[in-house]
Amino acid sequence: MVNFLAPILRLQFNLFYRYGYTYIPISQTIKFDGTITDDQKAKIVEVFKIVSPFEYDDEYFIIHFEKDDDNNQSNLHIEIQDLISVFPLSKQAKISIESKIDSRIKLEDPIFETHLPEIENNILSYEINRAIDSLWYLFKIKDEKDDLIKAIGIENIIKGLEYRKNGIKAFKIIDGNFWSILLAYDRYDYFPNTPIGYFYDAGQVFGFSKNAPTFEGSKLHAFLQKTYSEKSDIKTSSFIDLLESEQSVEEYISQSKSDKLRLYVVAPLFLMLKEELRKIDDFKKIDIEKYIENLHKYGIDANAALILLGAFFGYKKFYDLYYEQLGLRIFNRPVKQSLSTFKEDTVKIKIEEKELPIEVPKKIGKEIQLPINHEPLDTTKEVIPVVVTDDDEESKKMKLNAYQKIIFDEIKEKTECKLSDLSKLIASKIKGKKFNNENIRKIISEMPGSVIEIFRDKNSEKARIRIDKT
């Protein structure tokens, strides 16, 4: 009999337990003499490189089993009786799994836990690389990325993420590298919430990289304060021009430059993008074309910011849109066209005067972008999001725009509504929209089929389903 160790997905283990047998490729096992030494523990790290990655350490066990040695087998058939021990990957995983599996199963101590960080770091490297690859694809970047990654330093990236993982805050890092501190950094100060605020952040990170507890008191801080008091909402690109022409911050500029990159540009761009993405739960909601257009002017510095962004969020944040853009062959319908034709064929929410805007349309059921089928309203002088629900055949047939749909749904539910209440409702559902009664009248008048009518009740104007249609 030969002893084997092998990682096994918990899901597979459950089926193994239920059916009493399973198969494991021989390449994913380690033969040993029955005593687990450091050598086997190190080999496990290698085996984990050729199995599916995992997010949580309770998704895998390592099993110890014995079988007759048969060198001709490429796939080992294992019976439940062959199992000798089951090792969770960590103490935490042990606690979590113990309450969920058959209580008669004895989980061993997690003796491989010391190697878990190495296993996880291998997965993390792939995660970072795939995230950057997907961003390169989504942002249609033609430039080479490897040199840029080298300029930032993959070790600095990993270190920065380690700080985060271990809960080490940027202001506590001593003798840290700028890029690592930047990745570990979160804003705890009350810096302005306009674009210039991200330059305060960059200054703070720069101060931390010089072991200062704050950059308050520096010439840069004084310059930022002065600029903010005069132009609180100055745009990013204008501020960069100002910064580069300002004598008092020459030392900051010269010190925060590398061969290739302007750190004082990369850092605010990255932090700005990071905050924008944090606010949304779905990367698909961003208007990527607008981003490409805006980031283009920052050249290679924007590319570096995207590298940091990919490393920070990981592939998890981007895979959904990436797959859609790739048009995976396993998808039900070809979806590749959805973004490439987005600009021409679909309507968009008006972009506010922000430099790096992200569209976050309010959800009304499931969102679907529909082709434009009417002219935008005169009253609003803007394009209107068309948002309908998959299941709402009625409004789909009627081809309502988002405002009309909100009104239609409300009136359907409440029979009649004050126009003023409808304008409040729209404002609550679509941020930044304020309509008066006249606007509401116009929106209703343009609804296909004139299904809704306006009438006067006491002192207020109300809307209801047109009686002759019901």
Partner 1 sequence: MPWMIREDQLDPDQREFINSETKKTGNIWVQGFAGSGKSVLLIHSLKETLKKEPNASVAIVVYTQSLIEMFKTGLKELNIKSTVPVMTYYDFVDKTSQKYDYVFCDEVQDLPAKALYALKTKARKVIVAGDSHQSIYDTDPKWFENVIDPDQVGEIINARPFVLNIIHRLTRSIISAVQKLFPSMNIWGAKRDLTKQDVNIRLCEASNENEEVKYIYQEAMKATAIGDTCAILLPTHKTILKFVSILLTLNNKPDWKFKPVRWDEDKPREKQRPDYDSLNNYFRSNSLKIQYVGNNHGSFSGAESNKDVIIMTYHSSKGIDFDNVFMPFLNNSLYISPRKEKTLFMVALTRSRKNLYLTYFGYTHDLVDEFKSECTEIQISEIIDQRSSSKRNTNFDF
Q: Which residues form the interface with partner 1 (CB under 8 A)?
A: 10, 14, 55-59, 92, 95-96, 99-100, 124, 127, 161, 164-165, 167, 169, 172, 186-188, 190-193, 206-207, 210, 212-220, 249, 251-252, 255-256, 278, 281, 312-314, 316-317, 363, 365-366, 390-391
Smallest gap from residue 298 Cβ to partner 1 (A): 22
Estimate the crossing angle of helix 38-48 against helix 116-138, to 10 degrees: 20
Smallest gap from residue 249 Cβ to partner 1 (A): 7
The answer to whether 382 touches 350, Cβ cutoff 8 Å, is yes
Smallest gap from residue 190 Cβ to partner 1 (A): 4
Q: Which is nearer to partner 1, 253 or 377 (CB)?
A: 253
CA-CA distance, 194 to 354, in Å (whole number)?
10
Pick the closest to residue 439 from 378, 395, 349 (CA basis).
378
Q: Which is nearer to partner 1, 66 or 216 (CB)?
A: 216
Q: Which is nearer to partner 1, 188 or 455 (CB)?
A: 188
Q: Which is nearer to partner 1, 252 or 403 (CB)?
A: 252
Q: 3-class DSSP state for residue 12? A: helix
Smallest gap from residue 66 Cβ to partner 1 (A): 28
Q: Which is nearer to partner 1, 210 or 431 (CB)?
A: 210
Q: What residues are paired with 463 via a beta bridge?
A: 417, 454
Q: State the CB neighbour count (10 A cutoff) for residue 151.
A: 15
CA-CA distance, 262 to 268, in Å (whole number)?
11
Taking the CA atoms of 177, 156, 249 and 353 in sequence, report the sign of the dihedral they define: negative
Tokens coding 237: 């690109």
Q: Which is nearer to partner 1, 375 or 391 (CB)?
A: 391
Q: Which is nearer to partner 1, 30 or 309 (CB)?
A: 309
Q: Which is nearer to partner 1, 216 or 359 (CB)?
A: 216
Smallest gap from residue 391 Cβ to partner 1 (A): 6
Smallest gap from residue 192 Cβ to partner 1 (A): 6
Taking the CA atoms of 149, 237, 309 and 252 in sequence, report the sign of the dihedral they define: positive
Smallest gap from residue 272 Cβ to partner 1 (A): 14
Q: Which is nearer to partner 1, 72 or 99 (CB)?
A: 99
Contacts by 417-426, CB closer than 8 A, 24 or more apart: 417/462, 417/463, 417/464, 418/460, 418/461, 418/462, 419/454, 419/460, 419/461, 419/462, 419/463, 420/460, 420/461, 422/463
Q: 3-class DSSP state for residue 451? A: coil
Smallest gap from residue 431 Cβ to partner 1 (A): 14
Smallest gap from residue 270 Cβ to partner 1 (A): 13
399's CB contacts (< 8 A; 6+ apart) are 370, 373, 374, 448
> In degrees, to the nearest 5, what angle opens at C-alpha 193 toward C-alphas 189 and 194?
135
Smallest gap from residue 95 Cβ to partner 1 (A): 5
Q: Which is nearer to partner 1, 166 or 459 (CB)?
A: 166
DSSP states along 160-226: HHHHHHTT--GGG-SS--HHHHHHH----S---SSTTHHHHHHHHHHHHHTT-S--TTSHHHHHHHH
Q: 3-class DSSP state for residue 149? A: helix
Smallest gap from residue 236 Cβ to partner 1 (A): 18
Q: Which is nearer to partner 1, 164 or 336 (CB)?
A: 164
CA-CA distance, 395 to 392, in Å (whole number)?
6
Q: What are the residue ranges of helices labelled H in 280-418?
A: 288-296, 299-313, 315-326, 337-340, 342-345, 393-398, 402-414
For residue 61, the surrounding DSSP H or E stretch is strand 60-67
Q: Which is nearer to partner 1, 198 or 252 (CB)?
A: 252
Smallest gap from residue 364 Cβ to partner 1 (A): 10
In terms of residues, how long is the chain? 470
104 burial level (CB within 10 Å; 0-12, 13-18, 19+): exposed
CA-CA distance, 253 to 195, in Å (whole number)?
19
